[in-house]
Amino acid sequence: MFPLSFMMLISSQMMFFYFPGIHMISNFMKLDLMSSSLICLSVILILFSYMMSFQIKSTGNYVKLFTGMVSVLLSTLVLCFMTKSMIVFYIMFEFSLIPTISLIMIWGYQPERLQATVYLMMFTLSSALPMLSAILYLSEANISMIMFSTPSSMFYINNLNSSALIWWLTLNIVFLVKLPMYIFHLWLPKAHVEAPVAGSMILAGILLKLGGYGFLRFASITPFWYSKISAFLISLSIWGSLFAALICLQQTDLKSLIAFSSVSHMGLMMAAALSFTSMGWKSALTIMIAHGMCSSALFAFAALIYDMSHTRNLYLLKGFLILIPSMAPSWFLLSAFNLGAPPSMNMMGEIMAISSCVSFSQILMPNLMILTFTVGLYCMMMYTLVTHGQLPNFYNPMLTATPRMTLVIYAHLPLLSTFFFKPEIFSNWI
């Protein structure tokens, strides 16, 4: 508990008593507001995911191993967010794959978890190896390996050679896969569907944000090629976000719907970051924090529904409002927050993101309008299909939400709404 308390103390000090600038902890570690915010998010969601994993503890299914894997994953994430070295970041970034795969393989639900693990390894490793070669090349070229770059110390990668775009892709494609961008998203639904509740909460709440964090950090190192291809990437992100939202309308699996919702939200976050405006970068951090909290709560609620019905089919899940009326308000609020209704951080982040995208090009406005409408449509569909209708016979009326489940799900809501009234906590880092 001492390491967790110490990390929480550091994050709280940095967030609520913020002094502008980057703060040196040691020769190898630094903190700014983005790092401390994501560390605080990691600690909170790891705690929530551990509380939701009571079935592992009650059945005695490798309890100590589970606790160890979660602790190792938390330590790895904290080091990723605190280190200022590219090489250390790369090592920790890839090492986080080991506990993630272990969570899916050992405590996954279905035999298909092997296929999900293969997809995850294939996409992650195939995109990470080019990044390693690029980092080693930059190191040999005597380029600074510090990620916390200031404008005066930025390394403009176009000065290397004529194939600078290839080097940019090798450095950043791993973050596009981790985020994930729409065309690199195939591993995400499989991993979410087969992962246990803790794996889904950590994967959606923290690990996807690791890709966004790396993307923003490396943007200060390679700003030239971002400006060269930002128009293409913004268009790809918004179209991908729209396609993911349309796929959500066709989903019958609840966890798969929430997973594709993550792809849609992260696409908007990337488009805002690529606008290279102060508002766009502020919205990127706000969306990462808000989506981390909201998606974690949605997966926790999906696990509660699955424990009671043993199905995730949206056309079989009906009448939840009749079975547990006390939990229906939380499902409604989470669905509303996911579509960006006030008072949620999601709304604040998405308004800033849309504004930054429109300031980049007004041609994006029709796509953004359709995207906003589609997100609202599938969020309302997700709420109504689960809560309304006649209660199926296969529900076990003796089962109910435990106090621990109720506490975890409802604990997300104040965190999502409180920061709506103090947005400068996440918007002062630029």
Q: Is residue 17 part of a domain?
A: no
Q: Is residue 235 part of a domain?
A: yes
Band of pLDDT at residue 400, cut at 50, 70 and 90? confident
Check residue 253 and report its DSSP letter.
B
Q: Is residue 55 part of a domain?
A: yes
- 139 lies in which domain range? 2-11+23-427
Q: Is residue 16 part of a domain?
A: no
Beta bridge partners of 29: 83
* C-alpha separations of 210 from 56, 90, 220 in Å: 26, 11, 16
CA 28 to centroid of chain Cα atoms: 25
pLDDT of residue 22: 57
Instruction: Please check whether residue 248 is in contact with residue 261, taking contact to mean a CB–CB distance below 8 angstroms.
Output: yes
Q: Which of residues 23 and 266 earns the better pLDDT score? A: 266
Q: Which residues contact 161 (CB under 8 A, 6 or more apart)?
A: none
Q: Which of residues 268 and 422 earns the better pLDDT score? A: 268
Query: Hey, which of 13-17, 108-112, 175-179 has the most confident mean pLDDT?
Result: 175-179
pLDDT of residue 172: 86
Band of pLDDT at residue 153, cut at 50, 70 and 90? very low
Q: Which residues contact 13 (CB under 8 A, 6 or more apart)?
A: none
Whether cis (ω within 30° of 0) applies to the bond prior to 342 is no
pLDDT of residue 370: 96
Q: Is residue 302 part of a domain?
A: yes
- pTM of the predicted protein model: 0.91
Total count of domains within the chain: 1
The one-letter code for the residue type at 291 is H
